[in-house]
Structure formats: structure tokens, C-alpha cells
Amino acid sequence: MKLGAFLMPAHPRYRSLHDGHYHDLDTLQYLDRSGFDEAWIGEHYMMPAEPCPSPDLLIAQAILLTKKIKLATGAFMLPFHHPAELAHRICWLDHISNGRLMVGIGASGTTLDLEMFNIDHKAGVHREMTAESIEIMTRFWNSPGPFEYRGKYWTVRRPADQMDKCSGYHLKPHQSPHPPIGVTGLSASSATLKIAGRNGWIPISFCFTPQYLHTHWQVVEEGAALSGRVTPSRDMWRVSRPIVVAETDTQAWKLAVEGEMGRYFREDYLPMIAGNNALGLFKHHPDVADSEVTVEYCAKHCWLLGSQATVRERIEEMQSLSGGFGVLHVMGFDHLEELLPIRDSYRALQEIVATHFA
């Protein structure tokens, strides 16, 4: 098992965009020094609690300040970008990172983001646009010569080179055939993760209720079988979860529930999920009432908290319930006011994984 991080990135609303950005940048440097293998960075527009609209800007700066850690968008929301332009930006990042880039892609589930771009999400247009966009981008990356693509949402061309005029298509990815692509899934038997299996992409599970984690890998295998692919290796499977490690279980609970992670869930994340009628994603049993899904409930059933011994046991439980996975992601939250204890938590988690699971 390897260790990574998934940064939304989340910040309290009083945090300035400047301070939040440089806190994220400092966190990526710390994760690189601490031996984390990778970090994924989200993209949002109309979410004040997750205010980063350009993960590639953060990645471009982090490339210069880190040495080994792989950096990934988590994810580019493809309906919001022209695929020809984004294909070139990804190639550029792949080269300047010297191949340390991975690319998460998504259709966006944020209603206001989709409405801002005038995308009819109720009719599933954002999913159709995502499929068309990735087809166009891979066409650019893999094409040996000129082509024209006429789709439902975009028409693009790779014109014939005119080298006598010093013009032509030249920006191919550094990695062959392109940087690894990943997608995230949350619900049981996630349809998104079945798409990952069909295309050979990296599956990333957001794990709040590990009881159904095994269904995520089942649909990855089903997707691979549908497209005639060889059964994928579990080493490529990422599982992301809120994790806090402290000297004792009580200290970890207090740091998580009373700290910034608890505040984020209490004031931002749980209200957003409730507004989308999706609190079932957090329930360890379907009979649990929505009113019972509180921060304390999440701390008990959804988060991974405790001493090193407790966290080690909980990771072993996740492996047993899932059948095994390759990379554990800690979900990262703003911790400027809790810098030392959260950094100690990251370091302890790295020791647990390196000692007992590597």
C-alpha cells in the first residue's frame, strides 16, 4: 500500500484566497518531504468552502517546490473546458512535471457550477459532454496526423502541419500514451467507477461507509469485463477517507470533531449533502434517520480516528471489507490553526502505512 492525499481543497470562509492557496502549497511541500506518494487537488467554482477553480495553477507552482510526489487534478470538470485547449494544458503540465502528473476528470455534481455554465444537468448533458471531451482529448494525444471531429457539443480539428510557415501540431504528452486518468466514485456500486473499469482508468473511492466499499471494486471489474479488458490490478485502486491520528483515541476525536474538520462538516459539507438529499451516503444502515447524521455520527461511523494502534486496526478492517486496495488517501482539510497536531497526524499515518502495509 502507498499513501496519498486528496485536497478539495477546503478552507473556512474567513480564510483569504491568498492565505488558503499558500497554505495548500505549503501542505503539498510537507507531504512531499514526508514521503507521500501522490496528492489530488479539486476544482470548484460556486463553493466558497472549496474555493479553488484552477487546480492546475496550484500544481504548476507545486511542481517547482516538490521533488517526488505525483500531482493530480481531482478533477478537471470537463464540461467547463474546451477539450482542445485543455488537452494542450495537460500536455504542458506533463512535460514541466517531468511525468509526475496524473489527471482526474469529472462531469461535476455541483448544481450551481453547472447552472453558471448554462449546462442542463437534469437532462444529463454534463455527462454527455464529459464523454465527448475525453474522446477529443485522447484523439489529440494519440493522433498520428490531421483529423476532424464533429461532435454534439464541440467541433475540433487538427489541421495539416505547415512547417514551411513554422506552424504545426507538436505538443504530445510526456507520458505515453498520456498521463494516467482517474475518476472518483462515492455511492454503492458507483456507475462512475464502472466507467473507470471500462477505460482502464484509476478508480478513486470516497469512503464514508466502508461496509459497501467492496461494491466499488466489483463494478470496476464488471466495467473491465464489458470492454474485454484484463482484470485490473487492485494496486491502482485509491481509497480516500477523513483520517486523524493522535496519541490517544480521545485526543484524535477531540482534534477531529472540535477542530477544523468538524467545523467544515458541520457548517459546509453536511448541509450541502443534505440539500442534495444524499445523506444516505454517510449512513452505516439505511434505517438511520437523516437527523441522526451529525458531525459526531460521522466521527463514529465515517471517519478514521484514533491512536496509531487503533488506526492500524481500522485500515486492516478496510482492507478486509474491500478485498484490498493499493493507495490510501487522507482527505486534507485546512489546518493553519492546527498546524502541528495535523502535521503530526500525517507523519504518524505515514509511519503506519510504511511499517505495516507497504
Q: What CATH number should be reported for the domain holding residue 325?
A: 3.20.20.30
126: in domain: yes
pLDDT digits (tens, 9 = 90+) for 231-248: 999 999 999 999 999 999
- The domain tally of the chain equals 1
pTM of the model: 0.97
pLDDT digits (tens, 9 = 90+) for 253-263: 999 999 999 99
Mean pLDDT computed over every residue of the chain: 97
Sequence-ordered list of residues with C-beta below 8 angstroms from that of 280, at least 6 positions apart, any chain: 286
263: in domain: no
pLDDT of residue 235: 97
97: in domain: yes
172: in domain: yes
277: in domain: no
270: in domain: no
Q: What is the mean pLDDT of residues 78-101?
A: 98
The percent of residues above 90 in pLDDT, for the chain, comes to: 97
Task: Tell me which residue range forms the domain holding 235.
Answer: 2-244+308-357
101: in domain: yes
162: in domain: yes
